A and B are shown apart, each in its own frame.
Chain A
Amino acid sequence: MEQQNKSTMVVFSGDLDKAMASFIIATGAAAMGKQVTMFFTFWGLNILRKEEYVKVEKSFMDKMFAKMLPRGPEKLGISKMNMGGLGAKFMKSTMKKKNIVTLKELIEMAQDLDVKMVACTMSMDVMGITKEELIDGLDYAGVASYLADADESKINLFI
């Protein structure tokens, strides 16, 4: 009865609104019985960062980079009208009032629904992000692993 078709998604953006759209589609697809793979690359990795500071040995450049990038779902800006974070604050308070599920809850739900979340190791190198700084339960891989999953998918998105 249940078709084992897959859905894959490249999450390139680290914007709050785009991240929410990604996770809504991912959890929705999982609820429809699909095997979902989300491949996080470049700015998308920021969504998976732990909120707290994790002490790891890094080069000066990597430290600077890490400092400038948002740590986790609560710190992301929105893709339009962010106004230095004010727009994101406004959007979050509006969503709370309207009882819209938060990005953090969506991520937990995705993990609960066995959505496969893969962090791109090349992007991690570029941005100087280590495994210790990312949330638990992730896979670590590169383009071949993503393409293999995409090959078997009926839906493939780049966000």
Chain B
Amino acid sequence: MNSTQVLDTKGLSCPMPIVKTKKAMDTLNSGDILEILATDKGAVNDLAAWSKSSGHELLDHKEEDGVFKFWIKKG
């Protein structure tokens, strides 16, 4: 997927992944895609909830060698 920016939150625990995601998203434009890397096991549910309540679209997510990858499109 064509991401506008990649954000690495590997090794960080709650609430850092969503705080960093929010900050990164603030610098992007509507329609841009932010790719997020995380190792926090709560991140799958957290980023889904964050996207939903912040008006962004979680396009896809997958796990690769213990690292979660997310693609969120800015609303």
Residues of A bordering B, CB below 8 Å: 1-2, 24, 27-28, 30-33, 98-101, 109, 113
Contacts and interface: CB of A to CB of B under 8 A. Distances in A.
26 contacts: A2-B54, A2-B55, A24-B14, A24-B15, A27-B19, A28-B15, A28-B19, A30-B19, A30-B22, A31-B15, A31-B18, A31-B19, A31-B21, A31-B50, A32-B18, A32-B50, A32-B53, A33-B22, A33-B53, A33-B54, A98-B13, A99-B11, A99-B13, A101-B15, A113-B19, A113-B22
B6 interface: no
B31 to A, nearest CB: 13
Q: Which of B19, B21, B53 gathers the greatest number of chain A CB atoms within 10 Å? A: B19
A24 B15 CA distance: 6
B16 interface: yes
Interface string B2-25: 000000000111111011011000
- Of A1, A27, A28, A98, most buried by chain B (CB within 10 Å of CB) is A28
Interface residues of B, number: 15
Contacts of B19: 27-28, 30-31, 109, 113
A1 B31 CA distance: 14
* Shortest Cβ-Cβ A-B pairs, 4 listed: A31-B22, A1-B55, A28-B15, A31-B19
Interface of B: 11-16, 18-19, 21-22, 50, 53-55, 75
Nearest to A32: B53
Contacts of B55: 1-2
Contacts of B50: 31-32
A100 B54 contact: no
A32 B54 contact: yes
